[in-house]
Amino acid sequence: MSIGFIAWMIVINTIFWLVCCLGTAHLVRFLPKSWYEKNDWFFAERPFERELYKRIRLERWKDKLPEGGGLWKFQKKNLNRELTLEYADKFISETKYGEVGHLGMAILGFACIWINPGEYALVFLICAIVNVMVQIPFCLIQRYNRPRLLRLRSRLARKGESRA
């Protein structure tokens, strides 16, 4: 294995993973908004999820993972400053974009097997599996936050109605 081959593999795989992750995160925003609204069954909280989040203590570590909302001009840290229906709606949408994006990254990551020489397929299968394991916590965080945001949105809507 030559230095040139190794350098080429590094370049190809770096480009692949950047395009896979950043490209997918960007492309999910081009899906019609109606797709996200029509598929509420996909985004709905399942009965087992709350118990799962307790068992894995998601509340303790969820804010320690990197958050990329700033790439799309959305900051979740503004929740306390911008507590409006519009902000809650935007945050809910961002959780849907985030979940679909991370699921997409997990699935598309398997394409790394096909862009590399066949004799290294096992190595890149392992990379793809590790990528899935990396994406799962981010999907869980979106699913954890969304029901809470929906309840917050509902309270904000009721407050707005009581002032009208």
The residue with greater pLDDT, 84 or 60, is: 60
| Residue 102: predicted pLDDT | 97
Alpha-helical (H) ranges within 19-120 are: 24-27, 33-38, 40-43, 49-55, 58-61, 85-108
| Residue 92: predicted pLDDT | 94
Query: Average pLDDT in the 55-78 region?
Result: 83
Q: What domain count does the chain have? A: 1
Query: Average pLDDT in the 10-37 region?
Result: 93
| Residue 160: predicted pLDDT | 77
| Residue 25: predicted pLDDT | 92
Note down the domain range covering 31: 3-163
| Residue 83: predicted pLDDT | 84
| Residue 39: predicted pLDDT | 83
Burial track 77-103 (b if 16+ CB lie within 10 A, e otherwise): eeeeeeeeeebbebbbbbbbbbbbbbb
| Residue 15: predicted pLDDT | 96
Question: For the whole model, what pTM was predicted?
Answer: 0.88
